[in-house]
Structure 1
Amino acid sequence: MLLNRRQVLTAAGVAGASMLIGTGRAAAEPNGWEGWLAANRGHVGAVIDDGRGGRLSHRPHQEQPLASAVKAVHAAGYALAVGQGRVRPDEQVRVGDWEKYYYGLDGGAHQASMADLGIASANGVTADDPDRLVSLDDLAKVAVLHSDNAAADFVRTRVGDASLRAAALSCGWPGVDTRSIAGEVLMLILPDRAPADPSQRKRVGDLLAAQALHDPRLQLEIIGRFPDIPATYDGQRPWARQTWHGSAAGLHRLHRSVAGGRFPQARTHLERAFPGPLPKGVKAIGFKGGSLPGVLTMAYTVRWEDGRIGTGVLLAEEVDESLSTKAGELADLVLGPLLDPASLRDLRATLVA
């Protein structure tokens, strides 16, 4: 007999779902992000173009972990499928089918998604009514706005992995890494299932995630192994280093293309993070970032009323826990240069020796 999603998650005790974003208990970094960036240039990739001639490029093609910044690719793949008429934004999806991809280790993103969509959850983990319907566009929205891993995986499955790769390629990003997020999470829960060869992680993770949807023995094994997951930030850093990768240049090209109107549905969802008020002269600001233990990623776009588009991407790896809860400060360092030339000069001085 197959276990339902509520049984799996409740038995596994996923109330501690915030483990993937750190506890924030470490002492504060005395030099802040500017000091860390200057001292760790070899762990940073950045591409910034303010749309008026100001540019910064630092290790643009170096592959680094993307964390949830990769979900901009899911949004673009969804928008491509909509534009091709293969899916409809108003297509109805059972919440239970969405939650089949949910393993709880998302820092509360799924709960935020349910609250946003008005879905009741008495147990605080999964929906009360698995037969409740939401639209496919709702899932694309919460995958971006709340970084819901299960929503991103459902969208990927529905539109096809090839759609994600084709959307990225059309923006100038070939070879994008579009692994199953659930597959990577399952390799955290079941590290013995992870392949020794890193090049096989996508294949193995995809197969493992697909098996977990239907195999009751594997579901029971997952439940039994939850207590063994490394519970600390540093304990999970080796796993996070092996998750999906990409370059600042590739992510930059994707965001610039989306902001320019290539994929309207994706742009709408990426710009939900900044509903307003906006700085004078700015029409919209788009954003998608991500974090995993040791990883913090940022991608911004600014569309000006005069038609200019600014795009800023910064990928940081090997980030100490002392800075992991100060994402807002790093966000200011990435968005600021798109709005203020002085901020761009400051960041260039920090990153370029």
Structure 2
Amino acid sequence: MRRSTWISTACAAALLVGGCATDTDTDTDTTATTATTTPTPDYCAPVTSTDLATEDGWIGLIDQAPDTVSLVIDDGRGRTVEHRADQEQVLASAIKVVHLAAYAQAVANGTIDPNEQVALSDWERWYLPRTDANAHPKALTRLGIANAGTNATDPNATVRIDDMVSAMIQESDNSVPDYLRYRLGDQALVDAAAAGGWENFEAPSMVADMLSIFDPGLADADTWETAQKWAFDPQFRAQAEASVQVPTYEDQVSRVQSSFRGGSAEELNGMYRAFADGTYGEASDTILRQLEWQPAGDSVRGIGFKGGSLPGVLTQGFELRRNDGTVATAVWLIDGLPADRFDQAMTQFGVQQQLIVEAMLSPEVLDRIACVV
């Protein structure tokens, strides 16, 4: 199938943890140790499956298309599996955890009151309709805000800023990151990334990135200037909407790869570990509350994640806090997926998510992945 409608940067949040994965390493010393890359087990069997409806299919993808995958899984007990961990790849909506961290730091230092009421018009000026798999209207509905299927019915109504941030994480709303960037400034995002060990972070604009897919000439312009034109210049907005032509799937993939902001699995994984180990201080409470919005299984205290998707791209990031105080983290980035594989990945990414959680908890599952990296 080829994409013929507006595309999406959202990745649905459908993680199911309780009762699925179990902590099989119950006898392991809970004292934190220095993680080392796990050597390939000597009993590895080849993984030939290409069916992404199965865990073997996702594991096989690493071996069959190694240059499209960047991976880090750190079980927090001294074992780490890596594949091209330092290679930059497009992050899609997984990058939004940087915006979350900047927001949480602003809450911690008193710059933002999480109960502050924001006019819906100020939120939605950064919204690009029909490019988010209905993430924005789904968020409005969850928050009890009347909407017409795209925008809020009453733009003068207000919403708590903390609820806006929840929409960025839970539904993967694309307008909140640009709102936060405008509100906090680029340096707040740079500082938030640096606190987690990610140096030289370059702030993205979701609005400008999406517009550049439909008008590649905008990719060469100042993306933040483009985003602000969309937000504040009605004439520019009207012209952009009127000129939309949806490119082929192959062109979408090419434009995403050539112009969207990226990062490495190593950089993103470092942030997840920092979220859970106290590096962010008081801001960690807000970060974990937002990330860990789904119930965790009996063997874990909390599990937080943020995924993303773009044409050809699927990204996943996780942190998992065990009851014994240890923390596991994982980042799995994929790009370059052809149309048929992308369609299957988007219907079966829950299988991949479950595999990631199992790998963080089970040495046997981690070994299966180590066999192909």
TM bucket by the smaller chain?
A: 0.7 to 0.9
Change (3 A) 1:210 1:90: same
Residue 224 (str. 1) matches residue 242 (str. 2) = yes
Instruction: Give the equivalent residue in structure 2 for 1:269.
Output: 290
How far is 1:145 from its partner?
1.0
Change (3 A) 1:324 1:239: farther
Residue 283 (str. 1) matches residue 310 (str. 2) = no
Instruction: Give the equivalent residue in structure 2 for 1:10.
Output: none
Q: Secondary structure at the match of 1:235?
A: helix
CA contact (8 A) 1:17 1:108 kept: no
CA deviation profile, 1:254-294 (whole Å, cap 9, x unmatched)? 0111122322211111111x224x1x321111101111111
Matched residues in 2 for 1:299 and 1:194: separation? 27
Change (3 A) 1:33 1:233: farther
Residue type matched to 2:142 in 1? D
CA contact (8 A) 1:18 1:108 kept: no
Which ranges in structure 2 are unaligned for 5 or more consecutive residues? 12-48
How far is 1:316 from its partner?
0.9
Write 1 or 2 for the structure with the bigger share of helix.
1
Residue 258 (str. 1) matches residue 275 (str. 2) = yes
Residue type matched to 2:134 in 1? G
Matched residues in 2 for 1:165 and 1:93: separation? 24
Change (3 A) 1:193 1:43: same
Change (3 A) 1:257 1:21: closer
How far is 1:339 from its partner?
1.2
Residue type matched to 1:275 in 2? P
Instruction: Give the equivalent residue in structure 2 for 1:120.
Output: 146
Matched residues, percent identical? 35
CA contact (8 A) 2:9 2:93 kept: no
Residue 313 (str. 1) matches residue 327 (str. 2) = no
Matched residues in 2 for 1:19 and 1:299: separation? 18
CA contact (8 A) 1:48 1:313 kept: yes
Instruction: Give the equivalent residue in structure 2 for 1:248.
Output: 265
After superposition, the CA RMSD in angstroms is 2.0
Change (3 A) 1:19 1:312: closer
CA contact (8 A) 2:90 2:313 kept: yes
Q: Secondary structure at the match of 1:297?
A: strand
Q: Secondary structure at the match of 1:194?
A: helix
Q: Secondary structure at the match of 1:288?
A: strand
Residue type matched to 1:265 in 2? T
How far is 1:19 from its partner?
5.2
Which ranges in structure 1 are unaligned for 5 or more consecutive residues? 1-15, 23-27, 196-200
- 1:153-168 paired onto structure 2 within 5 Å: 153-168=178-193
Question: How many residues in Structure 1 have an aligned counterpart in Structure 2?
Answer: 319
CA contact (8 A) 2:193 2:271 kept: yes
Change (3 A) 1:239 1:346: same
Which of these residues, 77, 83, 100, is aligned with residue 75 of structure 1?
100
How far is 1:332 from its partner?
2.3
Matched residues in 2 for 1:21 and 1:247: separation? 19
Residue 89 (str. 1) matches residue 114 (str. 2) = yes
CA contact (8 A) 1:177 1:246 kept: no
Residue 346 (str. 1) matches residue 372 (str. 2) = no
Instruction: Give the equivalent residue in structure 2 for 1:331.
Output: 353
How far is 1:174 from its partner?
0.5
Instruction: Give the equivalent residue in structure 2 for 1:175.
Output: 200
CA contact (8 A) 1:49 1:56 kept: yes
Instruction: Give the equivalent residue in structure 1 for 2:27.
Output: none
Residue 107 (str. 1) matches residue 133 (str. 2) = yes
How far is 1:21 from its partner?
6.9
Matched residues in 1 for 2:202 and 2:370: separation? 28
CA contact (8 A) 2:9 2:174 kept: no
Residue type matched to 2:295 in 1? P
Q: Secondary structure at the match of 2:87?
A: coil
Change (3 A) 1:98 1:43: same
Q: Secondary structure at the match of 2:316?
A: strand
Q: Secondary structure at the match of 1:213?
A: helix
| TM-score of the two chains, using structure 2 as the length reference | 0.81
Matched residues in 2 for 1:300 and 1:19: separation? 21
CA contact (8 A) 2:126 2:179 kept: yes
Matched residues in 2 for 1:87 and 1:17: separation? 34
Change (3 A) 1:20 1:301: closer
Instruction: Give the equivalent residue in structure 2 for 1:235.
Output: 251
CA contact (8 A) 1:333 1:347 kept: no
CA contact (8 A) 1:136 1:155 kept: no
| TM-score of the two chains, using structure 1 as the length reference | 0.86
* Deviates further, 327-336 or 72-81: 327-336
CA contact (8 A) 1:47 1:55 kept: yes
Matched residues in 1 for 2:164 and 2:188: separation? 16
Instruction: Give the equivalent residue in structure 1 for 2:30.
Output: none
Change (3 A) 1:152 1:236: same
